Amino acid sequence: MSKVEFSPSLMTMDLDKFKEQITFLNDKVDSYHIDIMDGHYVPNITLSPWFIEELRKITDLPMSAHLMVTNPSLWVQQLVDMKCEWICMHAEVLDGLAFRLIDQIHDAGLKAGIVLNPETPIEMLFPYIELLDKITIMTIDPGFAGQRFIESTLDKIVALRELREEKGYNYVIEMDGSSNRKSFKRIDAAGPDIYIVGRSGLFGLDEDISKAFAIMAKDYEDMTGKTIK
């Protein structure tokens, strides 16, 4: 991936301004991040595959479904049927399921991703890492927006970049959690390919999405010396 990409986490957007915010962001960002929670793997219940169907009506950008669910096998086929471009599952619930579900996603011509919680080591991925299209590193505990940034998780991003270069793997590296002015410089030093931005980094900066995006872009440039798209 030649440049850093930005993917808004839509569970933190203002759903009263759904069409307005998505229409504006379509020309500004690279993809959309859709959190799907079952109320079991994490206590919250948020977006659903239905949300992706609604989003399709007003955007052509790729979508990435983040399955924070206890049994991903119950959800993957729905997302495959919707042609969700990225389907990302938590490594912590994949024992005995990983190869079958990754193959199911790939057989549909879609991309398979794995998500790691802050305390989960990258070694958990090694049995199937060469099959992955994306690895997402949680920099907060999953399930709640607005948590503190866990800086030690950035070491995993660095390790995954080094491993990709050494082994010739093709996955992209994504970070998820508290990506904002306070953390942009540290994240940039670790070097992920994709930033997920939510309430603290984008949607909570101003009620007007155009102003919020301008603030985010300035924050990123101020802290990294780089520009967004």
- Catalytically annotated residues: 35, 176
35 is in an annotated binding site: yes
60, with CB counted inside 10 A (0-12, 13-18, 19+), is: exposed
- 176 backbone dihedrals φ, ψ, rounded to 5°: -140, 110
Helix-helix angle 18-25:209-224, to 10 degrees: 40
177 is in an annotated binding site: yes
145 is in an annotated binding site: yes
Q: What is the rounded CA–CA span in Å between residue 183 and residue 185?
A: 6
113 is in an annotated binding site: no
Tokens of 44: 């919250």
Percent of the chain that is helix, strand, coil (3-state, to 5): 40, 20, 40
Q: What is the rounded CA–CA span in Å between residue 89 and residue 71?
A: 10
Tokens of 152: 């030690």
184 is in an annotated binding site: no
Q: What angle do CA 147, 136, 4 make, to 5 degrees?
A: 95
66 is in an annotated binding site: yes
144 is in an annotated binding site: yes
179 is in an annotated binding site: no
Tokens of 124: 């958990």
Q: What is the rounded CA–CA span in Å between residue 48 and residue 45?
A: 9
48 is in an annotated binding site: no
Q: What angle do CA 107, 112, 115 make, to 5 degrees?
A: 155
Known binding positions for a divalent metal cation? 33, 35, 66, 176
Known binding positions? 33, 35, 66, 143-146, 176-178
Known binding positions for substrate? 66, 143-146, 176-178
